[in-house]
Amino acid sequence: MIARPLVLLAALGALLASAPADALTLRDMLGRTVTLPLPPARIVSLVPSVTEIVFSLGAEARLVGRTDFCDYPAAVRGKPSVGGMVNPNLETLVALKPDLVVATDEGNREETFRQLERLRIPTYLVHANRIAETVDLIKRVGELTGRQAEVPRLTAEMLRRIEAVRRAVAPYPRPRVLYVLWPDPLIVPGRASMLTELIDVAGGASITAGDGDAYPRFSLEAAVARAPEVIILADHSTGTSTAGRSSPEKWQRLASVPAIRAGRLHSADLSLLHRYGPRVPEGLEMLARIIHPEAFR
């Protein structure tokens, strides 16, 4: 009667003894449990922001794959690409033999997550819509890559620059700002977008801050009715000074809008303002100079 429990205990002891000492059980930014037998040595990033963070922490040796949209820093182009964020090539991805894939619920498809699950490839999901969440993400990537020691240096410098912008614009009135992510249909940053927070820190008042979720559609009539004093068009081009897909001429015809009357129609680098990574302060500084040029003379 005693022998069976003893056998079971012995079997359990053997199982525990054989389990990897470095096994990790993590919780990603969506609250999902991710279990890894060992710290990941081969990571595929489907998120441009995460790719930038990996390089900023000096962990690029662990990055074995990225998407076509992971284009910064320039050295990332030496890493194999698995294609786009929406439809990555799973055959290419599997061939890279990743220990972990880092993905996002904003830009990657749920179908991709399900396929990776069927292939038994651990997937860590990230999500950041606030500056504080960006700092949290950097800490998490530091833990995933074994570069925790580099995190305080990187995040402290980011927060220092962000606070410097906040102080610089504090004495000035807040102009009404319209940020146009996409012109047709008109897509703008809403309540849940980090852009809304960045515009606020940069000393502006987003006229779409109370609307929808992260990026709601908006009507041109509603935008005109809210009389923006500054209009910023997201620049979808790469390496040029044009406004990409946003046409300035369309907006310049709206002569009744205060921003147009004052000559305050601008374009801004999309890659700086839509990636929650180490370059957030750079994007914020660009925004602040557009909204409050008088604060940076």
142 shares its domain with 176: no
Looking at residue 1, its pLDDT comes to 40
128 shares its domain with 179: no
Is 131 domain-assigned?
A: yes
Is 266 domain-assigned?
A: yes
User: Is 48:275 a contact under the CB 8 Å cutoff?
Assistant: yes
Q: Could you say which of 93, 128, 146 is where a domain stops?
A: 146
For 81, which DSSP code?
A: B
Q: Is the pLDDT of residue 2 over 60?
A: no
Is 13 domain-assigned?
A: no
Is 2 domain-assigned?
A: no
Q: Per-residue confidence at 8, pLDDT binned at 50, 70, 90? A: very low
The proportion of the chain whose per-residue pLDDT surpasses 70, expressed as a percent, equals 89
Looking at residue 5, its pLDDT comes to 44
138 shares its domain with 217: no
87 shares its domain with 49: yes
91 shares its domain with 194: no
Q: Is the pLDDT of residue 239 over 60?
A: no
Rounded-to-integer distance, Cα 235 and Cα 211, Å: 22
60 shares its domain with 119: yes
Between 103-107, 112-116, 243-247, the lowest mean confidence (pLDDT) is in 243-247
142 shares its domain with 243: no
Q: Is the pLDDT of residue 237 over 90?
A: no
Is 219 domain-assigned?
A: yes
138 shares its domain with 215: no
- Report helix, strand or coil for 133: helix
The mean pLDDT of 87-108, rounded to a whole number, is: 94
Is 165 domain-assigned?
A: no
123 shares its domain with 192: no
Q: Could you say which of 146, 180, 214 is where a domain stops?
A: 146
Looking at residue 214, its pLDDT comes to 82
Total count of domains within the chain: 2
How do strand 63-65 and strand 43-45 relate by DSSP bridges? parallel
Q: What is the pLDDT of residues 44-60, one digit of tens each?
A: 999 999 999 999 999 99
Is 163 domain-assigned?
A: no
Question: Residue 108 belongs to what domain range?
Answer: 20-146
CATH code for position 40: 3.40.50.1980
Looking at residue 165, its pLDDT comes to 98
Is 238 domain-assigned?
A: yes
Looking at residue 241, its pLDDT comes to 37
Q: What is the pLDDT of residues 71-84, one digit of tens each?
A: 999 999 999 999 99
Q: Is the pLDDT of residue 132 over 80?
A: yes
Cα end-to-end span (Å), the chain? 86
118 shares its domain with 177: no
* pTM to 2 decimal places: 0.86
The residue that leads in pLDDT, 241 or 184, is 184
128 shares its domain with 45: yes
Q: Could you say which of 146, 180, 201 is where a domain stops?
A: 146
Neighbouring C-beta atoms of residue 148, cutoff 10 Å: 13
Neighbouring C-beta atoms of residue 261, cutoff 10 Å: 11
206 shares its domain with 282: yes
